[in-house]
Structure 1
Amino acid sequence: MSQTGTSDSQTSPSAVPAPTGFAALGLDMRLLGMIGALLVIWVGFALFTEWRFLTPRNIFNLTIQTVSVALMATGMVFVIVTRHIDLSVGSLLAVCSAAMAMLQTQFLPDLLGLGSPLIWILAVLAGLVVGTTIGAFQGWMVGYLAIPSFIVTLGGLLIWRNVAWYLTNGQTIGPLDPTFSIFGGINGTLGEGWSWIVGLGLTVAALVLLVQSRRNKAAHGFPVKPIWAEAALGAIFTVVILGFILILNSYSIPSRRLERQFEARGEVMPEGLEMGYGLPVSVLLLIVVAIIMTVVARRTRLGRYIFATGGNPDAAELSGINTKLLTVKVFAIMGALCAISAVVASARLTNHSNDIGTLDELRVIAAAVIGGTALSGGLGTIYGAILGALIMQSLQSGMAMVGVDAPLQNIVVGAVLVLAVLVDIVYRRRAGI
């Protein structure tokens, strides 16, 4: 996703020597470093918790806890890449959550009737409208009024949090629509069968993309990886995707909960039956959003404009890019993702609470930065931001299981953020980026 300079015009693609050995895999060394750090964190906490940290149950909980921040982190990549910042995402999540909760519990049931299937749909659409509109408005102030994004979104942090409070009169609103709650995690999973289908589909898609990428490079005369390297990457993707599905399917639904599910359908549960939860709907939603955001970043004009503007705003404007309108679009995308995140966060709680999204702005920025997004602009990846969110959540969950106090948890997370920025600076200096 990062913008890279072109090579000497006198050097043809075919003249570039193909990498050999481990380098032939073409893996991002910074990505490998983050994966290595994540594995160290997991193994470390596993040792301190007698391996409870790496049980299917905890991995399942870890994934659904990561989704909300990860969704917003994908949008924060675009914001930071364009040399801006958004401090209002936690408060924007709260106001979207409040709006959706009020619609589900007070307005739409009276209008459509209690239990109407349209309630959750209209509530989600309303949340998306609220989030996108607020995001676009903040982007307009940054782009067209030239108010620094730090100031605009700092004001938004205070404003939207308290707008959410007034919408609900400071009360916890719930319970939310049962169908809406499937986006929260444990209340909405695909089950073992559909999880395997999704996992196989993602695996096939990844392998097809590998083949297509190789063909495109060969067709344009660019060096291609050795067959063994392509096969190794395909094997890695397959093991990671299907292994993840296997772990989620290994987390069994408690027998009493399973009995209630059968009773709700008017059936009797077979004796000794065991079923796994499978892939949470919220995690599937994150996968879909990640794919869309990656396509936008890599394959669309909007994505090229975003990274070109972040790399050199003056040159981008002189080349004909409407950087003001682009800023509005980037913040509108961020607002829409805050609304989607509000769906996941409130559905997981099955209600709207006043403290929902508190400090999420710091977690989201930290996830993007830890994931390799440069605060100087122009560089960042969607998958890096998601991995950064997973690292953050792993630290917090692991420390909670070990018994570390909340204040110390925040100290550790803050220290990790500063360390991540330092490592990123050193890495980019050595790499000449």
Structure 2
Amino acid sequence: MTDTTTNAPADRARTTELGPVGRFLKATEIDTRMLGMVGALLLIWVGLQVISSLRLGVNPFEFDSRTFLTARNLWNLSVQASAVAIMATGMVLVIVMRNIDLSVGSAEGLIGMVMGFAQVHFLVKAVGLELGNPWIWALALAIGIALGLMIGALQGFVIAYMEVPAFIVTLGGLLIWRGAAWWVTSGQTIAPLDATFQLMGGGPQGAIGATWSWIVGLVACLAVVFLLLRGRQQRKRFKFPLRPVWAEALLGAVTCGVILGAIWIANSYPWPIGIVRRYAEANGITIPEGGLFIAHGIAIPVLIAVAVGIVMTFVTNRTRFGRYVFAIGGNPEAANLAGINTRWITMKVFMIMGVLAAISAAVSSARLNSATNSLGTLDELLVIAAAVIGGTSLAGGSGTVAGAMLGALLMQSLQSGMVLLNIDTPLQNIVVGLVLVVAVWLDTLYRKRV
């Protein structure tokens, strides 16, 4: 059996009418919107690198430690984008169903405050666990996830079964959960958090090191090759058109190159000198004359975000629930007539969103080593913007988890770059707002063309 399953003359005629770029995109089946996002991200990175270099009076290609494109800044960028990326994966489902969730930032703040209170006060003083007990972080995380699930279930029930518009319900939730976060501790900051819990926030201890990072990267590359081969076998089995072998090889090589490149960047960022010195003293290590280089490796919050992205991609693409979500978003009336329990599906989507808000709250509070009343403020804007920029249509029915995560990275790149350039916070908000409006406008133009 040959690899080619269809040789229709009409298809060949249409292919010859395409230019070189069109033939390349057709052969590789690359999503042009995703390709445009990658190009926009690279353009932003290069622009921020040039601007930050010019402000410092250095050569943009020398990659000074104070400019944008450095291992340190990119590592921190990945950690900062993790919390938004986690929630953006759930926001995709919400928007695909033609709903919106304006309460995710406030829910994140309330859940973070409750988890902090559980660690510092409830589990230690009321339950009687000793500080450093390995159950503290696990119980606090379980409490946070349970609270997120209840928040999502409550809002989803009101939206689905009481038929109150999602905009109104979640707008009320934005105010209610933010106020409730203040009442947990009367607005006081809770710190420090459990040492094990802090690992979910990154930092020198919250990373897996160089060796394990390379192992993770190699396993990821093997998984990419396996998925490409598996996909090709499935296409043969069901007699679908196959991509050319060169296209499969190119996709695998580029994907693995990006993965290994990211690992190399993560391993290029060393521990701070002070932490290295304390580590060497505690372990009886003699620091050589040139200094001791200990790489951070991949941060744990990044691994959490990637794991959430993989799970959510599987849910949206490979499960009946995911197909129902897109069917409801495409045509709610037809989905209802087809026998889909649209109300229960809607409620489950908001429950998932609540759980993801809890995971983001854990990552954000662990990174700050504190639970504050301001945690998650305006994150709803970033999450919605990330999903929309990533290709999720506000008209419903279309969107991808990978696009939303890439959108989160793009939004965080803008914010980090503006902080690096010492741009005032009000102007940062103006830029984020403009980016969101432009993204929706571009989505409208794209849908008209399609």
Give the structure-1-normalised TM-score.
0.94
Q: 2:344 aligned with 1:344, yes or no?
A: no
The aligned counterpart of 1:30 is: 33
Indicate which of 225, 237, 262 corresponds to 2:280. 262
Structure 1 distance, partners of 2:325, 2:140, is 31
1:150 is displaced (CA, Å) by 0.5
The aligned counterpart of 1:373 is: 392
The aligned counterpart of 1:7 is: none
Q: 2:75 aligned with 1:57, yes or no?
A: no
The aligned counterpart of 1:220 is: 238
Structure 2 distance, partners of 1:335, 1:341, is 10
The aligned counterpart of 1:84 is: 99
1:429 is displaced (CA, Å) by 1.3
Q: 2:321 aligned with 1:302, yes or no?
A: yes
- CA RMSD after TM alignment: 1.4
Matched residues, number: 419
Matched to 1:147, the amino acid is V
1:412 is displaced (CA, Å) by 1.2
The aligned counterpart of 1:94 is: 109
Q: 2:372 aligned with 1:353, yes or no?
A: yes
1:403 is displaced (CA, Å) by 2.2
Matched to 2:396, the amino acid is G
Indicate which of 36, 40, 44 corresponds to 2:43. 40
The aligned counterpart of 2:255 is: 237
The aligned counterpart of 1:420 is: 439
1:109 and 1:115 in contact (8 A); partners too: no
- The gaps in structure 1 that reach 5 residues or longer are 1-11
Cα deviation, 1:370-390, whole Å, max 9, x if unaligned, reads 111000111000011011111
1:267 is displaced (CA, Å) by 2.6
1:207 is displaced (CA, Å) by 1.2
1:306 is displaced (CA, Å) by 0.5
Matched to 1:134, the amino acid is I
1:17 is displaced (CA, Å) by 3.7
Q: 2:419 aligned with 1:400, yes or no?
A: yes
Q: Helix, strand or coil: the match of 1:352?
A: coil
Q: Helix, strand or coil: the match of 1:134?
A: helix
Among all aligned residue pairs of Structure 1 and Structure 2, give the percentage whose two residues are the same amino acid.
54
Which range moved further: 13-22 or 151-160? 13-22
1:220 is displaced (CA, Å) by 0.8
Q: 2:159 aligned with 1:156, yes or no?
A: no
The aligned counterpart of 1:74 is: 89
Residue 282 to residue 269, structure 1, CA distance change in 2 (3 Å):
farther
Structure 2 distance, partners of 1:114, 1:254, is 27
1:73 and 1:364 in contact (8 A); partners too: yes
1:14 and 1:223 in contact (8 A); partners too: no
Q: 2:230 aligned with 1:194, yes or no?
A: no
Structure 2 distance, partners of 1:22, 1:83, is 30
1:185 and 1:282 in contact (8 A); partners too: yes
Give the structure-2-normalised TM-score.
0.91
Structure 2 distance, partners of 1:85, 1:267, is 55
Indicate which of 121, 136, 145 corresponds to 2:162. 145
Residue 268 to residue 335, structure 1, CA distance change in 2 (3 Å):
same
Indicate which of 331, 335, 338 corresponds to 1:316. 335
Indicate which of 321, 329, 333 corresponds to 2:348. 329
Q: Helix, strand or coil: the match of 1:112?
A: coil
The aligned counterpart of 1:5 is: none
2:280 and 2:287 in contact (8 A); partners too: no
- The gaps in structure 2 that reach 5 residues or longer are 16-22, 54-59, 61-66
Cα deviation, 1:60-95, whole Å, max 9, x if unaligned, reads 011111011111000000000011100000010011
Matched to 1:205, the amino acid is A
Q: Helix, strand or coil: the match of 1:201?
A: helix
1:285 is displaced (CA, Å) by 0.4
1:13 is displaced (CA, Å) by 7.1
Matched to 1:351, the amino acid is S
Matched to 1:85, the amino acid is I
1:251 is displaced (CA, Å) by 0.6
Q: 2:291 aligned with 1:276, yes or no?
A: no
Which range moved further: 408-417 or 266-275? 266-275
Residue 153 to residue 14, structure 1, CA distance change in 2 (3 Å):
farther
The aligned counterpart of 1:181 is: 198
Cα deviation, 1:260-308, whole Å, max 9, x if unaligned, reads 22334x4324423212101000000001000000000000011001000
User: Where does structure 1 differ by over 6 angstroms across 4 or more consecutive aligned residues?
Assistant: none
Structure 1 distance, partners of 2:362, 2:284, is 31
Residue 90 to residue 21, structure 1, CA distance change in 2 (3 Å):
closer
Which range moved further: 286-295 or 408-417? 408-417
Q: Helix, strand or coil: the match of 2:68?
A: helix
Which range moved further: 268-277 or 58-67? 268-277
Structure 1 distance, partners of 2:76, 2:346, is 35
Residue 388 to residue 21, structure 1, CA distance change in 2 (3 Å):
closer
Structure 2 distance, partners of 1:165, 1:257, is 35
Matched to 1:206, the amino acid is V
Residue 66 to residue 13, structure 1, CA distance change in 2 (3 Å):
same
